[in-house]
Amino acid sequence: MKRLGLIALVLMLAGGMVAFAGGAREADTAVAEDNLERSLEVDISGLRSADGQTLLPELSSKEVPSRPDNPRSLPETDPMHWYDMEYLGWGVEEKINIPDSPADGAIGKRVIAIINGDHPYLTAYSTGMQKIADAYSMDLTVLSPNWDLAEQNQMLDEAINERPDMIILVPLDARVAIQQVRRVNRAGVPIILSNMLPEEEAMQYAIAWTGPDDWGQFREMARVWADELGRSGGVAYIRHAPGGSPYFARTYGPITELAEYAPDIETLDMQAPGFEAEATMQVVSDWLTRFGDRLTGIGLADDSAQAIGTIEALRRAGREDVLVIAAGNSKVGMDMVKDGDLLAITYQSAEADGAVALKTAVDWFNGLDVDPVLYIPKQVITQENVEDFMPAQW
């Protein structure tokens, strides 16, 4: 009985406090009349990321083929099989319930960014975003759910509760994003998606998606790779962690590209040992035993731990001839490209990734037209141009 009484006490305490606070929300602050003008005048062309590149690069779009009737029925080596993953958001013509832009300037706006976890890339990502926020004196909060879906949902709800002027979301998963974005949309808060691709349906509830063209980058790099391989030989792939688009893009991007560009290159195997140097090292060693000289190339989903393990295994086996490509671009990966250990990595500016997402929000606040899908530029880093991208962002 005593216990029940105590529980009741705690609940009453909570209830009373809630009633007392009464869901108080801060009143909107009035926006100065010349805010829009001042916002439009802000010059951010001088901003640079830590690697000396322009923070805000030229954004690109890409050619979109028409959608086949049933992409999943095509073979996995056909690029069209992955249509729904690669060209998300382009098919969405009708947007639902997107709030109108206030068109009163970006200065002083409150933005909540919810990323997907803690990772050096995302630290640099947040840095890039903060640079834009500083330039426009915006109030930016970046929250990380540490790769936990339940936590990310909680943060989204909390963000809705705070009624910011914009939410920027890096979805943990493409398919989960639909319901997440729909919830934010239903609450009437504008949302921009960033970095990780969502499913197409999510795009009808969002203003835009910005981020790297993972598929395109790997296609471009696959061509460089194929040329160096002499368009023949056998390759194997170390995959990203399951779940999320990179798991597919960084393996099937090159596979489908090679199927067209260099059909003689054989795909030998693919494994997902995680981002762990020792485990990757063992998988690669096992491949060397299993395939011997047939293995001439390895594609990696990560240029840190996976690259370290791969190169170490190759070195121990005396197989420095195997050509390795990886998704970039960490400091570890850049150093390995410089040393000639890695043939190529992708250039994906983490700071630009974050900056572009917020800059898109700025454009929307300023009442400008915003493209629904924006890619940060893709580039392949090899030994020749690696110096241009030093020092690495993360």
Partner 1 sequence: MSEDRGTETLREDPAEVAPNMNEDRTLRQNRFSVLISVLGIYFLAGILMIVGVMVSERFLSAANMLSVVGGVTILGLVAVGAAFVTYSGHFADLSIPTTMAFSGVMAVEALQFGIVAAIITGLLVGLVIGLINGFVIGKFRANPIVWTLAMAFVIRGLMRWIWSNRQIYPEVEGAATGAGQHFVNLYRYHLLGVIPMTVVVLAAFAIVLHFVMKQSSFGRQLQITGASFEAARLSGINVSRNVGLAFLICAMTAAVAGIFLTSLSRVGAYYMGEGYDFAAVTAVVIGGVTLAGGRGSIVGVIGGVLVIGLMRNVMTLMGIDTFAQTIVTGAVFILAVGIQSNSLRRLGRDDA
Partner 2 sequence: MRSQTDVVTFVNRYRILLLLALVFLFMALFAPRFLNMFNMTIIMKSASLNAMAAIGFTIVLICGHLDLSVSSTISLGAVLVIGFRPDLGWSGAIVAAVAAGGFVGLVNGLLVAKARIHSFIVTIGTLTIVQGIIYVYTGGAALNVTGALDFAVADFLEDPILLFFPPRVIITILVIVGFEVFFLRTKPGRNFYMVGGNRETAWLAGVKADAYVIWAFIISGCAAALSGALFAIGISSATTDLGVNSLMIIVAATIIGGASMNGGKGQVLYSGIAVLMLTVLFNGLNRFGVGSEFRILASGVILASVVLYEAYSNYKKERIRGQRPELLKELDPQQLKNVTSSLKTREL
Lookup: tokens for 374: 């924006």
Give the DSSP H or E segment for 38. Answer: helix 35-41
Candidates 287, 347, 365, 389; binder of partner 1 (CB under 8 A) is 287
| Segment near partner 1 (CB under 8 A); pick from 28-36, 51-59, 172-180, 310-318 | 310-318
Q: With left for phi above 0 and alpha for psi between -120 and 50, is residue 77 left, alpha or beta?
A: alpha
Name which of 231, 285, 295, 230 is nearest 260 in CA terms: 231
Q: Alpha carbon 220 to chain centroid distance?
A: 18
Which is closer to partner 1, CB of 147 or CB of 261? 147
**Out of partner 1, partner 2, none, which partner does residue 286 contact, by CB within 5 to 8 A per kind?**
partner 1
**Inter-residue contact 88 to 214 (CB < 8 Å):** no
Q: Is 332 in the site for partner 1 (CB under 8 A)?
A: yes
**Out of partner 2, partner 1, none, which partner does residue 110 contact, by CB within 5 to 8 A per kind?**
none
Whether the CA torsion 73, 78, 82, 86 is positive or negative: it is negative
CB atoms within 10 A of CB 274: 15
Q: Is 394 in the site for partner 1 (CB under 8 A)?
A: yes
Candidates 16, 263, 292, 340; binder of partner 1 (CB under 8 A) is 292
Candidates 78, 276, 382, 383; binder of partner 1 (CB under 8 A) is 276
Q: Is 50 in the site for partner 1 (CB under 8 A)?
A: no
Contacts of 189 (CB under 8 A, 6+ apart): 99, 159, 160, 163, 164, 166, 167
Q: How far is the CB of 95 from partner 1 (least distance, A)?
A: 35
**Out of partner 1, partner 2, none, which partner does residue 78 contact, by CB within 5 to 8 A per kind?**
none
**Inter-residue contact 380 to 346 (CB < 8 Å):** yes
Q: Is 293 in the site for partner 1 (CB under 8 A)?
A: no
Q: Is 282 in the site for partner 1 (CB under 8 A)?
A: yes
Which is closer to partner 2, CB of 173 or CB of 312? 173
Candidates 54, 101, 154, 271; binder of partner 1 (CB under 8 A) is 271
Burial class (CB in 10 A: 0-12, 13-18, 19+), 24: exposed
Lookup: tokens for 109: 């706006």
Binding positions for partner 2, rule: CB under 8 A: 3, 6-7, 10, 13-15, 17-18, 20-25, 118, 141, 143-151, 153-155, 157-158, 160-162, 172-176, 178-180, 182-183, 199, 201, 242-243, 247-248, 272
- CA–CA gap between residue 266 and residue 71 (Å, rounded): 23
Lookup: tokens for 269: 């195997």
Q: How far is the CB of 318 from partner 2 (least distance, A)?
A: 34
Single-letter code of the amino acid located at 173: D
**Out of partner 1, partner 2, none, which partner does residue 298 contact, by CB within 5 to 8 A per kind?**
none
- The footprint of partner 1 on residues 71-130 (CB under 8 A) is 118, 120, 123
Candidates 133, 258, 281, 380; binder of partner 1 (CB under 8 A) is 281
Q: Is 140 in the site for partner 1 (CB under 8 A)?
A: no
